[in-house]
Structure 1
């Protein structure tokens, strides 16, 4: 049952990012997922709901999700949030080094299958490399927060430094598509004309990225044949 689940999705920043607040309405513990933009607003939203931010969860460490240098701009992100709250920063172990300058000793290095407990609400971490080596999704109460791995009707880019189309195909087909059809998909960006959510079942049927029956076909479609 998810009667105590606290979940808030908000679009912030200049790149149509979705930032999430998740936690327990019973214990009032909460995590922020990918807080790169508008830190004041994130803190205000949590305070308005009387939630205490105890964790920061990173789907991956691109600057538009955690802060850093982006197109000549310095986005404070995680570093600024840590000036406001005392929180652990949860990042996949393969990308922890990218966040160390921003988060220091607050880093929690995690791996596939690990869980983070927010009071009575458990968040399961699913390692989904492809967009980046340490990309991960967060499964909580039948909701899947997918970052830049899976979007509504598409998947994350695999032509960036550190991207790997073979890993993306494996992550999509052997990890995400193994989830229940009713699992709600909550993406990392508003790339679907304002649609805020989907489901694994809907993406299985309609998302072009899931229609390729072999790795070779997927690679050809991604321009990596």
Structure 2
């Protein structure tokens, strides 16, 4: 990182970079991200779950100070809670060890509170096109509903951290509580089309293959981005 590019970025894979001895974390293959300013030594964490102690240790080892948590959506594998018979550590444990503002889309706040038990006072409710400055780094919030009502992506320079909205192959499920197939169609065919091909997609899970790719490449290879009509979309999604 140079003086001209102070952006601090870490992509961390559950079961590999943290929660190393947790077979469930390895099978779920969640990505957690650290974003910040390498000069001011400030950062935020995206979707802290599974192993809060190790994530905070990584922040400390990098000589960074945690200033917030950014949440893509309220599912427990991204924020902590109970899912598929698993009890997953997440925001409650983070708030015990390092209480910081939790940035959630305004449509997602109720879900985050119900799943994790954190309070309204812990959360900063944001809307699409809002921005957060971490040191000199601007992070833009993009509301991308479909997987959940308040799913959001984060844009930093030419990085797009997409959570479960969009993967390199496929997109987030719409058959879980809060999912909306037609909203997902609008997100993929309208809301994300404004983002340039050179922006690099960083997804919420490692579902095989590469862990990131330029959006131009994803648009050429991801079937879910090649649908011509809502009727085709409904057939694809069943």
Q: TM-score, normalised by structure 2?
A: 0.90
d(CA) in 1 for partners of 2:122 and 2:202? 26
**Secondary structure of residue in 2 paired with 1:177:** coil
Q: CA offsets per residue over residues 135-192 of structure 1, 9 Å max, x none?
A: 0000001100000000011111111111111100111111112211000000000002
Q: CA offsets per residue over residues 16-53 of structure 1, 9 Å max, x none?
A: 00000000011111000001111111001100111111
Unpaired runs of at least 5, structure 1: none
User: Mean Cα displacement is larger for which, 72-81 or 62-71?
Assistant: 72-81
1:102 maps to which of 117, 120, 124: 117
d(CA) in 1 for partners of 2:108 and 2:40? 30
The 3 A distance-change label for structure 1 pair 57 and 107 is: same
**Secondary structure of residue in 2 paired with 1:31:** strand
d(CA) in 2 for partners of 1:2 and 1:90? 27
d(CA) in 2 for partners of 1:36 and 1:46? 14
Q: CA-atom RMSD, angstroms?
A: 1.4
- TM alignment of 1:1-225, pairs within 5 A: 3-12=5-14, 13-14=25-26, 15-100=28-113, 102-104=117-119, 105-193=121-209, 195-223=210-238
Q: CA offsets per residue over residues 85-111 of structure 1, 9 Å max, x none?
A: 131100011111223353321200111
Aligned residue pair count: 222
Deviation for aligned residue 1:115: 0.7
d(CA) in 2 for partners of 1:70 and 1:125? 26
**Secondary structure of residue in 2 paired with 1:145:** strand
Large movers: runs of 4+ above 6 Å: none
Unpaired runs of at least 5, structure 2: 15-24
**Secondary structure of residue in 1 paired with 2:118:** helix
